[in-house]
Amino acid sequence: MFNISIISRILRSRVSYFVQSASLSKVPGKPTWEPIDHNKLPQVPEIDLQLIEQLERISLVELNNEEGVRRLQAAVKSASLLHLINTDGVEPLDSVLEDRELWLREDKVTEGNCLKEILSNASRVEEDYFVAPPGNIPLKKRDKDHLSKVLNKQSQSKGLG
Amino acid sequence: MKSLTLKEALTQLRKGSLTAQEVCHNCLQKLKYTRNLNIYVTEVQQDSILNAAESSAQAYRQGSAKLLQGIPIAFKDNFCTKGISTTCGSKMLLNYKPPYNATMVSKCMSEGAIIMGKTNLDEFGMGSGSLDSCIGPVINPWNLVVSNQTSVPDSVSSELNGEQGLSPREQCKVEDTDWYICGGSSGGSAAAVAAGTCLGSFGSDTGGSTRNPASYCGVVGLKPTYGLLSRHGLIPLVNSMDVPGILARTVEDCTIILNAAAGHDVSDSTTVTESYVPFTVREDIDLSKLHIGIPKEFHAPGMSEEVLSLWKETADCLEREGAKVSQVSLPHAQQCIICYHVLCCCEVASNFSRYDGIEFGLRCGSEESTEELYAESRHKGFNDVVRGRILAGNYFLLKRNYEKYFLKAQRVRRLISNDFKNAFSSGIDLLLTPTTLTEAPLVSWFTKADNRTRCEEQDIFTTPANMAGVPALSLPLKLSSNGLPLSLQLIGPHFSESMMLSVGHWLEDRAAFPHLNLHLLESDTGELTSRSLWTL
C-alpha cells in the first residue's frame, strides 16, 4: 500500500535533482525587507459611533460586533503604511491597459427576448416586474450597545491621551 | 487506472486506445471517493457527464474531435454556468442559476470539454485558505497520503456517508482534527486537479488565488496576462486585476487549455483585440539566451528553509545550465500587499452594491422599506470577511479619505508596475520567485489569525503580478520533508506566455515532480475501495 515509506523513497530519489553548486547563489541568503518605522506613520484616526453609522448607511451592512470594529481599525492601520512611500508626481494607475484603446462594440441590440430568464432568479415578481418595498425611507437607527465596549474604551483612552 | 495528464489522455483518445467514457469514468470515480474533501460545491449529474462522454466518443470515431474533446474539466464556482447553480461559496447566491455561460465555460464546451462540476472557494474569492466558504472548507488531497499525524475530517460533507456507504474508520469532527489546507481562494479547483477528479480546471486570480492553491496542492497554476482571457461571466471581485486562471497537472496541459480559451471576446472590452496565436511549449529552448532575474525583495521574513533552498537550487541550476541569472530589485514589492488590500476593498465596496436581493440572490428581512430589505439581505447573505471588505472599502472611498487612501494606493500601484517594466526593459526575460512562503500550512495554525491577516502573509509573492497585469506561473518542483509540494513562480512581461511556459516546461522536466496519484490507492482489482482510502 501507498505509505510513508514510498513517500520517503520518492523524496530520496528527487532530492538530488538540482545539485547545489558551490558558486554564490543570486538568491539573497537573508530576508531583505526593510523594518517599518512605526514612529513615521500617521496616527490612525479614531473610529467613532458617527463614522460607524455613516459607513453602515452607505455600505448597507452592519458592523455586528466589536470584532468587526477591531477588524476595520486593523485594516485602516495597515493601509496607513502606504504613507511611507513617496508618490510625488506619480499618476494613479487605474488599469494596466491604460495605453491601449479598448474595443467598443457598435451600439446595437444583439440579445433580447429573455424576460423569463432575467426574472427567473428573483425571489419576488409580479407579472413582469421585480417587486421592491417602498423606497426613500431612511434606515432605522440601529442599537449600538453591543459596540459600547470598543467605543467606550476609545473615548476613555482619548480622555487619558 | 493511472491518472493521466490531459495531453496523454488526448493522445490516447485520438489513437483510440482509450475512450472518452473511460476517461470520464476514471475522473468520476475519483470524484466520488474524494467527496469528503469538499472539493465541489455542485457536481454535474453523472448521467449528463456520461452522455457528453458518449458524444465525445462519437466525435473521435467520426474524426471530428475538437481541441478538448472528451476532457473532464471543472470550474471555480464563480464562473457562470447556464442553468447550473453558481454560488461563489456565499449564502447570497445559493439560489442563483445564471441564465448564461461565462465565456471560459462556453469556449471550453465548444471545444468538446466535459464539465464535471463547480468547485469550492473562499466566499466570493476573498481568502487564501479556501476555509471561508458557506459550505465549509476544502481539504488538501495530499492529506490522504502524507502523514499519520493529520486525519481527514468527515463532517464537512454530509452526503458522503449515506450515499456511498463509505464509513471513515474514525468518526471525527473538523475541530478535533488537524489537516493541511489547500490554499485559496481557488482551492477547490486546485484540489480537483490534484485528486484526479478532472484533467484541468479554471480558477480565478485576483491576488494569487490560482497560484497559491496550485502551490499547496502540487499542480501547475497559470495566471495569464490581464486581457488575454475573457472575464465575461466571471463574477467580479476586483475588475482591474481579476483574470481567469488555469490549473492542470503539467505545463503542457495548461498550454492546451490556454490555447482553447484565449482570445478577444466581444462581451469583455478588456480583452485585447490582437488575434491569439496558439502555441506549443518548446522542447528546444536555448538557455544561454535566457536572462533570469531574482528579485531580492522576494526573500521575505517567514520563508521556510525548504522554500529558500529550492529557490536557490533552481536559480543555481539554471545558471549552471547556461542561463544568465542576475539579482534584480523590485523596490516596491514589500508594500504591494498593502496597496492590493486598499484597492481590493475599494473595488469590492463598489462591485458588491449589486447584491440587493431584488433581481437575484438572497432576499430576506423586513419588507417595510427598500433600505431595510437591502441591509438585512446583505447582512445575512455575506460573511464577516465580505462585510469587512465592503466597510473598509467604503471607509477608504469617503470623500475625506479618497486621496489619502484610494488615489495613494493607485499611485503606489503605478510604482509597482514600473518596477516590473524597469526589470524587463533592463534585459530580464523572466523573474524566478517562490509562490508562497512555506508548504501548505496546517489548519490549526492558519485559523489562529483572521482572514485579512492571513491574506497579507499568504499573498505577498503573488499580488505583484496582478498589480502589473503580467503573467505568472506556479510550478510544483519538489516535495518537502513532510511530503508536501513545494513550488516556485515564474513571472514574465505582458503576453510572454509562450516563453514563460516553455521555461516552465524545462524546469518541470528537470524536477520530475512526483504528482499525487490516487490510483496508487486502488486495490488489486482496480477498484478504489473505501477501505484502501482510509487505511493509509
The mean per-residue pLDDT over the stretch B9-16 comes to 97
C-alpha cell at B350: 463598489
* pLDDT tens digits, one per residue of B256-280: 999 999 999 999 999 999 999 999 9
B201: three-class secondary structure by DSSP:
strand
pLDDT of residue A152: 59
Which cell numbers hold the place of B46? 453523472
Cα B289 from chain centroid (whole Å): 31
All three cell numbers of B180: 493541511
3-state secondary structure B329-387: CCCCHHHHHHHHHHHHHHHHHHHHHHCCCCCCCCCCCCCCCHHHHHHHHHHHHCCHHHH
List, in order, residues 6 or more apart from B503 with CB less than 8 Å away: B285, B290, B430, B490
pLDDT digits (tens, 9 = 90+) for B303-351: 999 999 999 999 999 999 999 999 999 999 999 999 999 999 999 999 9
Does pLDDT of B167 surpass 80? Answer: no
Least confident range of A73-87, B143-157, B348-362, B463-477: B143-157
> Is pLDDT above 80 for B409?
yes
What's at A36, amino acid-wise? I
Residues listed for chain B: 536
pTM of the model: 0.91
pLDDT per residue over B479-536, tens digit each?
999 999 999 999 999 999 999 999 999 999 999 999 998 875 544 344 443 333 332 2
Phi and psi torsions of B114, nearest 5°: -115, 125
The two counts, helices (H) then strands (E), for chain B are 19, 11
Rounded to the nearest angstrom, the minimum Cα separation between A160 and chain B is: 26
B443: pLDDT confidence band, cut at 50, 70 and 90?
very high
Work out the end-to-end distance of chain A between its first and last CA atoms, rounded to an integer number of angstroms: 66
Residues in B closer than 8 angstroms to A118, CB to CB, are 99, 359
- Write down the ipTM of this complex: 0.88
Quick one: what percent of chain B has pLDDT higher than 70?
Answer: 91
Which residues is B479 bridged to in the sheet? B485
B196: left (phi over 0), alpha (psi -120 to 50) or beta: left
Read off φ and ψ for residue A71, nearest 5 degrees.
-65, -40
> A110, exposed or middle or buried, with CB in 10 Å at 0-12, 13-18, 19+?
exposed
Which residue in the set A84, A103, A135 is minimally distant from B273, CB to CB?
Answer: A103
Partner-chain contact A20 B272, CB within 8 Å: no
C-alpha dihedral (B466, B469, B470, B476), degrees to nearest 10: 30
Q: Distance between CA atoms of B114 and B72, rounded to whole angstroms?
A: 5
pLDDT for the residue numbered B172: 33
Q: Is the dihedral of CA B456, B459, B465, B467 positive or negative?
A: negative
User: B221 pairs with which residues across the strands?
Assistant: B247, B474
Report yes or no: B205 and B243 within 8 Å, Cβ to Cβ: yes
> Under an 8 A CB cutoff, do A27 and B299 touch?
yes
Least trusted range by pLDDT, from A42-51, B105-114, B124-133, B485-494:
A42-51
Amino acid at B72: P
Q: How many CB pairs under 8 A join A and B?
A: 271
Put simply, the chain B residues between 382 and 401 with a CB less than 8 A from any chain A CB are 382, 384, 387-388, 390-392, 394-396, 398
Ramachandran quadrant class, B110 (left: phi over 0; alpha: psi -120 to 50; beta: rest): alpha
Query: Is residue B166 scored above 60 in pLDDT?
Result: no
User: How far are the Cα atoms of A82, A83, A96, B404, B409 from residue A86, in angstroms, in the given order?
Assistant: 9, 7, 21, 13, 11
Beta strands (DSSP E) in B389-428 are: none
The pLDDT value given to residue B524: 38
Q: Active-site residues of B: which are they? A: 76, 185, 209
Amino acid (1-letter code) at residue B465: A
Q: What is the largest CA-CA distance in chain A?
A: 78
Cβ-Cβ contacts under 8 Å, B521 against chain A: 1-2
Check residue B32 and give its pLDDT.
93
Say whether A92 sits in a helix, a strand or coil.
Answer: coil
Q: Phi/psi at B375 (nearest 5 deg)?
A: -60, -45
Query: pLDDT class for B169, splitting at 50, 70, 90?
Result: very low
Element (H, E) at B43: strand B40-43
Per-residue pLDDT of chain A (161 residues; tens, 9 = 90+): 444 545 544 544 444 455 444 457 999 999 999 888 877 887 888 888 999 999 999 999 988 788 889 999 999 999 999 999 999 999 999 999 999 999 898 999 988 999 999 999 999 999 999 999 999 888 888 788 777 777 755 554 443 33
Compare all CA atoms of chain A with the CA of B325 and give the residue at the minimum distance.
Answer: A26
CA distance A128 to B163: 41
Would you state the pLDDT for residue A21? Answer: 46
Residue type, B1: M
Q: Tell me what the mean pLDDT of segment B370-394 comes to.
A: 95
The pLDDT value recorded for residue B1 is 57
For A144-153, B170-179, B421-430, B511-520, which range has the lowest pLDDT when averaged over its residues?
A: B170-179
CA of A161 vs chain B CAs: smallest distance (Å): 24
Please indicate whether, in this complex, the C-beta atoms of A85 and B335 are within 8 angstroms of each other: yes
Q: What is the rounded average pLDDT for all residues in chain B?
A: 91
Q: How far, in Å, CA of B391 to CA of B410, rounded? A: 19
Distance CA B415, CA A87 (A): 8
Give the position of cell 469528503: B36
Interacting residues of B308 by C-beta distance below 8 A, sequence separation 6+: A27, B299, B434
pLDDT score at B36: 93
| Best CA proximity match to B68, nearest among B20, B131, B140, B2 | B20
> Which residues does chain A have within 8 Å of residue B342's beta carbon, measured at their own beta carbons?
79, 82
Distance from CA of B416 to the nearest CA of A (A): 10
Structural domains in chain B plus CATH codes: 6-288+471-534 (3.90.1300.10)
* pLDDT at A123 (0 to 100): 95
B170 secondary structure, DSSP code:
S
Q: Beta strand B200-205 with B243-248: parallel, antiparallel or unpaired?
A: antiparallel
* CA-based nearest residue in chain A for residue B520: A2
Q: What is the pLDDT of residues A70-79, one digit of tens each?
A: 999 999 999 9
